[in-house]
A = this chain, B = another copy of it.
Amino acid sequence: MTIQSVIIEKITPQVDGGRYPIKREVGDIVTVSAGIYKDGHDMLTAVLRYRKKKTGKGSAGKWTEVPMVEGENFEWTASFSVDEIGHYQYTIEAWPNVFGTWLDEATKKHAAGVDISSELLEGQRFIMEAQQRAPKAERDRFTRCVERIEASQLVNRDVAVRVITEAQYAHMMDQFPDKRLATEYDPPLEIIVDPIRARFANWYEIFPRSQGRIPGQSGTFKDCEARLSEIEGMGFNVLYFPPIHPIGETNRKGANNSLIANPDEPGCPYAIGNKRGGHKAVDPDLGTLGDFDRLVTACRAMGLEIALDFAINCSPDHPYVKDHPEWFYKRPDGSIKYAENPPKKYEDIYSLDFHCENRESLWNEMKSVIEFWIGHGVDIFRVDNPHTKPVAFWAWMIPEIKKNHPQVTFLAEAFTHPKMMQMLAKVGFTQSYTYFTWRNYKEEITEYLTELTQGPMKEYYRGNFFVNTPDILPKFLQTSGRPGFKIRVLLAATLSSVYGIYSGFELCENAAVAGKEEYLHSEKYEYKVWDWDRPGNIKDYIAKLNWIRGAHSALQEYDNLEFYLSEDEHILAYGKTSEDGKDIIVVIVNLDPHVTHESHIFLPIKDFGIGPAESYEVHDLITDAHYQWRGEKNWVRLDPIVEPAHVFHIRR
């Protein structure tokens, strides 16, 4: 335990005492606070330092220094902005301000009529010491200073005090302080600065093979291209594909996850690899790698980005099985084990043993898969079941990738215990799936969102709110009808700054396997052809929500959520305000898809800059209706069949 003269402690923000980096997005202001103090009565000086770390591409970082300002109870604060994507560091240095303390005390004594001739000599000594610390070119200024003090003392002490307290000398002394008792906080704290899309994006998930028009036949990348303008028209900007690689033939699964597939069935894309290739190949049914590259280019042109699935599963036909049998779990007879969670078996998949003897080659190969797709223009990876691979692997692989490709985004698809989900985010995942998918009631939404956006998790865990996934058709949607689909997408799009839907949702698709949260006739096991304009769809509603998100910066922030009081247990009220305080969005939603509810709503109008008796306009961005409200308490009535929610823009 080394204790230094000046104590620097409780620095915020930080994660687990600095063990893991905080996350920010480019352009953010990082405000750092710390407890800084020392024994006795000395004045202190503290500076915040930050720098961008060297990356594969960038240059070595130089520290920039920002003075910290002292507040109440030894709390010091300073800010800086992170203007580039990449890895930053920050730290604090603090020291007793010897000259400042002396100046303060001498001035007080002189004011109290005390003889300060001894103090003036002391001050001169400090100035001469500072002179020694200054570079040669600067030293003359100090000599002149000492001379002026000496000369002024001959006049009288009042003049001497006036001279020595001139701002220029304090400033001069501040430039070359006595740092013998300085404390530097070490090691520095870390920041991962990601692109804006890490915090603010609208995801849309499709199976490329379901984008065709001919039943029983695989859709292709070209079919996907044909759908881009429609997808972009709905306001999405990330287009996410489940695995696009060749699919295993051995023990291939049939429709509805049946154990035996007919010869014409396509299999599950999560059973990756066959003789045509593995994780670095594309399923020929979808097209060629060239077709994929063209699709990426077409997406870019429309402001869309492709997200690929990174699923570390190998079918028994994956080239790795032949080339690297040592990477897999073996039975005593030497054969490779398929994946299982007894008594459940996954006969079409082999798991990789991340602790095998030749693990270095395996870990490097996995990293090279990511690099391969980065080379093909993919910057976003949704990682399948990361919690079944060692945390140590992600803690190595993600920072390794980000060294050369700091723009890359990794989304952790871990639906497991909270501690593991948090840990994956801490060691590097840019975004994470959440339990939002199963939070339907007022109390549970309020509690969970408060934990995500207002507690320690906000520093490192960005919840990407999916309303459904190929594996999850939530019970709520199975019985909620169209109003329920609107409610859920509205919640996702306004509670979190980053959210997504899995296609079919916009069509209010709700056919489930009986008693389960699984889709009937899931796309995971078969070719599908959809009518994307199916009656009853909510495409316009989604497009409107995405338009609102794009137009209102308040909805583009993650940790600015606040819940408001409503009297009815079905009516949830919350809001977000942009950092500059100018954009205020208030959402009031009836969580019950079947029954009309009404309630008083209490808004914190004081925080909005609205007086207690002032009237203000609430503009419903969904219906374009305008209302005049007054005071903090107002009344709403929401019929889910008409509109389950208000999304109000508040204007004074």
Contact = CB atoms under 8 A, between A and B. Distances in A.
Contacts of A376: none
Given A5-B392, A390-B5, A41 B420 contact: no
A462 to B, nearest CB: 19
Interface residues of A, number: 53
A9 interface: yes
A303 B109 CA distance: 51
B388 A109 contact: no
A564 to B, nearest CB: 27
A417 B73 contact: yes
Contacts of A104: 342
A1 B19 contact: yes
A391 B19 contact: no
Nearest to A387: B39
A44 to B, nearest CB: 13
Interface string A368-408: 00000000000000000001111110011000000000000
Interface in A107-130: 108-109, 111-112, 114, 118, 121-122, 125
A262 B121 CA distance: 35
A39 B390 contact: yes
Interface string A1-31: 1011101011000001101100000000000
Contacts of A20: 1
Contacts of A5: 355, 390-392
Contacts of A7: 391, 419-420, 423
B391 A39 contact: yes
Contact of A3 (B3, B114, B332, B395): B395
A114 B37 contact: no
A342 B37 contact: no
Nearest to A330: B122
A125 to B, nearest CB: 6
A74 interface: yes
A109 B342 contact: yes
A313 to B, nearest CB: 14
A3 B105 CA distance: 51
A606 interface: no
A332 B118 contact: yes
Contact of A109 (B39, B125, B343, B389): B343
Given A1-B20, A1-B427, A122-B331, A39 B74 contact: no
Interface string A295-321: 000000000000000000000000000
Contacts of A264: none
Contacts of A341: 41
A418 interface: yes
A535 interface: no
A263 interface: no
Contacts of A111: 343
A181 interface: yes
Nearest to A35: B419
Nearest to A10: B419
A186 interface: no
Nearest to A395: B3
Contacts of A40: 387-389
A531 interface: no
A333 interface: yes
A37 B391 CA distance: 10
A74 B387 CA distance: 14
Contacts of A342: 104-105, 108-109, 112
Interface string A350-378: 00000100000000000000000000000
Nearest to A331: B118
Interface in A438-480: none
Contacts of A392: 3-5
Contacts of A391: 3, 5, 7, 39
A19 B1 CA distance: 7
B388 A39 contact: yes
Given A3-B427, A109-B343, A9 B332 contact: no
Given A118-B332, A122-B331, A37 B343 contact: no
A9 B39 CA distance: 33
Interface string A84-124: 00000000000000000000110011011010001001100
B419 A112 contact: no
A9 B74 contact: no
A448 to B, nearest CB: 15
Contacts of A122: 331-332
A335 to B, nearest CB: 8
A122 B417 CA distance: 30
Contacts of A109: 342-343
A71 to B, nearest CB: 12
Top 8 A-B residue pairs of the complex, sorted by shortest distance between their CB atoms: A121-B332, A112-B343, A17-B17, A3-B395, A105-B342, A108-B342, A3-B392, A118-B331
11 contacts: A1-B20, A5-B391, A7-B391, A9-B423, A10-B419, A37-B419, A41-B388, A74-B420, A121-B331, A125-B332, A180-B355
Interface of A: 1, 3-5, 7, 9-10, 16-17, 19-20, 35, 37, 39-41, 73-74, 104-105, 108-109, 111-112, 114, 118, 121-122, 125, 180-181, 331-333, 340-343, 355, 387-392, 395-396, 417-420, 423, 427
Given A3-B392, A10-B419, A121-B333, 12 more contacts: A1-B19, A1-B427, A3-B391, A5-B355, A7-B423, A9-B419, A37-B419, A39-B420, A104-B342, A108-B342, A109-B343, A122-B331
